[in-house]
Amino acid sequence: MAKLLAGRRRWLAGPNRLKPANLVALLTTMAGIVILTGALNDTLLSGSDHAMIVALSVVVFTLGLWITGVVPEFFTSLLFLFLSALLAIAPPEVVFSGFQSGALWMIFGGLVIGHSVTQCGLGDRLVNRLLALSAPGYLGVLTTVALAGLALSFMIPTAIGRVVLMAPIAVHLAKQLGFEPGSRGQAGLVLTAGMSTSLPAFTILPSNVPNLVMSGSAEGLYGISFTYGQYLLLNFPILGVFSLISTIGLNWWFFREPPKRQTISIEPKPLTGSQLRLSGILGVTILLWVTDSWHGIAPAWVALGAALICALPVIGVIPVSDLPQKINIAPIFFVSGVIGFGAVVFHSGISAWAGEYLVAMFHEANLSSNTAIFASLAAIGSLVAVCTTVPTAPGVMTPLAGQLAEATGWPVEWVLMAQVPTWILVPFPYLVPPLLLTMSIGRIPSAQAVRLLFAYFAIGVTVLAPLHFLWARSLGFFL
């Protein structure tokens, strides 16, 4: 008996122990199986659409694996695509819609550009420039990276475009500072790059996809138009600025580690031929991204064109053989699965069912306090985002804004603006595809990002959201 107990203690302390993440994944997987079994036997949620219940089981299963990260994220995406196609919960063109999205080619282009920046040595020069501008220590480097990401949000109108520029630089910067792959110092730098280029940009109207989806739908459905200045003034001073400060502070708190190399000598060497060519390619690429409203070329095709030019003989900077041999394509499968996830949730009716249920709850609650109404709308928006991902959430919430306005007595414009905090204050990385892409490029485990985002979400709910509510009231909203 003593030997048995000793062996049990060794197993619990060893590498095969059931970690909390594995336990959560096991429980969510079991929940998905139970729901699926009940659906197939017509014993669960009687009266609900059979196909929707089957889809719900796959969604629960996928969310559990994404949140816990017990298997690689791209593998979870492939599992989701396989199960969705096998069980026919949506047509193939819906399930695999991520592979038809321009985002896929944006990611491919970004991966090639990032590889080119590293291979030709331009990354070293950019990193050295960042280090020259940084204050001493880890906090100083995090602040510089975050400010660079925020600055790009005002120039490049797509988060994935910003990420594919910043993430490789952050990885290279970590290497220059002596942080090994998988170290806390590297994780903090890479996550700061992803969060600073993605989250504050939700407060800048043309900088992220959900902003444009909401504003475009609001104009088409309700005749409501938001100007750049109005949207920025309402959202950026609190949500944008404080999300950036929280990003810097939390990454420092969770991942602070003294750099192994405090200073790096910067020799003023002239640019090589390949560095000059790549600088020209990047300059034209950024210019085309910034002016896409003038020329009409989608950012994805600009990124794809830049990637192909990088690999062209003579004028390129990398051999074409690098494309199939040295480019990590896991992020492509990962983000394509996330896009397909949102499309399946919408097509299967899960999002509409959840929205109608939430609207009914609002009617029954009969809330009278504006504070309670704002908190309830934010809770609904967060729940929808968790179930459908942030890029898909505005497509669910905006059509419901009219009903929610009727239930609350608020103008539709106020209901629409109550969505914005729910995009910024996210508890899980899978909700924001550009952040997932950053993690994939930097090979950051989900567990590290989940702990960070949980803390970020807690601060957001208790501090940022109330401050934003007060700021909005001073501007005439949510009164």
Positive or negative torsion for Cα 348, 353, 355, 358: negative
Q: Are 90 and 339 in contact (CB under 8 A)?
A: no
Asked, for residue 302, whether it belongs to a domain, the answer is: yes
C-alpha span between 448 and 466 (Å, rounded): 27
Residues 360 and 272 in one domain: no
Q: Are 79 and 29 in contact (CB under 8 A)?
A: no
C-alpha span between 197 and 177 (Å, rounded): 21
Number of folded domains that form the chain: 3
Which tokens go with 285? Answer: 């690429």
Asked, for residue 211, whether it belongs to a domain, the answer is: yes
C-alpha span between 457 and 467 (Å, rounded): 14
Q: Are 109 and 303 in contact (CB under 8 A)?
A: yes
Asked, for residue 434, whether it belongs to a domain, the answer is: yes
Query: Which of 291, 312, 328 is the endpoint of a domain?
Result: 328
Residue 421 burial class via C-beta count within 10 angstroms: exposed 0-12, middle 13-18, buried 19 and up: buried
Residues 453 and 416 in one domain: yes
Q: Is 136 helix (H, G, I), strand (E, B) or coil?
A: coil
C-alpha span between 251 and 185 (Å, rounded): 9
Residues 302 and 176 in one domain: yes
Q: Which of the 8 DSSP states describes residue 198?
A: H
Residues 146 and 232 in one domain: yes
Asked, for residue 479, whether it belongs to a domain, the answer is: no
Tens of pLDDT along the chain (479 residues)? 444 344 444 434 444 444 555 555 556 566 655 655 555 455 444 445 677 778 888 887 887 777 666 777 778 888 889 988 888 888 888 888 878 777 677 778 777 877 787 777 776 676 667 667 777 788 988 998 898 888 888 767 677 778 877 888 888 888 888 888 888 899 999 999 999 999 999 998 767 778 877 777 777 777 887 777 888 889 999 999 999 999 999 999 999 888 876 555 555 567 777 888 888 888 888 788 767 667 777 777 887 888 889 888 887 888 888 777 777 777 778 777 777 777 787 777 776 776 677 777 776 766 678 888 898 888 888 888 887 778 777 877 777 787 788 778 889 899 899 999 999 988 888 788 888 888 888 888 877 888 899 999 999 999 999 999 999 999 988 88
Q: How far is CA 223 from the centre of its chain?
A: 29
Amino acid (one-letter) located at 235: N
Longest dimension (CA), the chain: 78
Range of the domain at 23: 2-89
C-alpha span between 461 and 479 (Å, rounded): 20
Asked, for residue 94, whether it belongs to a domain, the answer is: no
Which tokens go with 333? Answer: 């499968």
Amino acid (one-letter) located at 224: I
C-alpha span between 444 and 240 (Å, rounded): 24
Residues 78 and 117 in one domain: no
Q: Are 26 and 61 in contact (CB under 8 A)?
A: no
C-alpha span between 247 and 55 (Å, rounded): 35
Contacts of 37 (CB under 8 A, 6+ apart): 44
Q: Are 22 and 70 in contact (CB under 8 A)?
A: yes
Burial call 39-62: b when 16+ CB within 10 Å, e when fewer: beeeebeeeeeebbbbbbbbbbbb
Instruction: Give the total residue count for the chain.
Output: 479
- The confidence score (pLDDT) of residue 157 equals 63
C-alpha span between 202 and 416 (Å, rounded): 14
Residues 32 and 109 in one domain: no
Asked, for residue 422, whether it belongs to a domain, the answer is: yes
Q: Which of the 8 DSSP states describes residue 227?
A: -
The H or E element containing residue 355 is helix 350-365
Residues 258 and 382 in one domain: no
C-alpha span between 247 and 438 (Å, rounded): 15
Residues 55 and 107 in one domain: no
Amino acid (one-letter) located at 274: S
Asked, for residue 218, whether it belongs to a domain, the answer is: yes
Contacts of 336 (CB under 8 A, 6+ apart): 77, 81, 96, 98, 99, 101, 104
Residues 321 and 439 in one domain: no
Q: Are 156 and 289 in contact (CB under 8 A)?
A: yes
CA distances for 435 relative to 161, 235, 324, angstroms: 12, 21, 24
Q: Which of 162, 436, 186, 441 is nearest to 328 (CA)?
A: 441
User: Cα-flanking dihedrals φ and ψ of residue 90, to 5°?
Assistant: -160, 155
The H or E element containing residue 200 is none
Residues 243 and 288 in one domain: yes
C-beta atoms surrounding 292 within 10 Å:
18
Residues 309 and 219 in one domain: yes
Burial call 224-261: b when 16+ CB within 10 Å, e when fewer: eebeeeebbebbbebbbebbbebbbbbbbebbebebee
Integer distance in angstroms from the first to the last C-alpha of the chain? 69
Asked, for residue 95, whether it belongs to a domain, the answer is: no
Query: Which of 52, 67, 89 is the endpoint of a domain?
Result: 89
Residues 11 and 76 in one domain: yes
Query: Which of 36, 60, 89 is the endpoint of a domain?
Result: 89
Instruction: Assign 3-state DSSP to the chain and report helix, strand, coil percentages, each to 5.
Output: 75, 0, 25
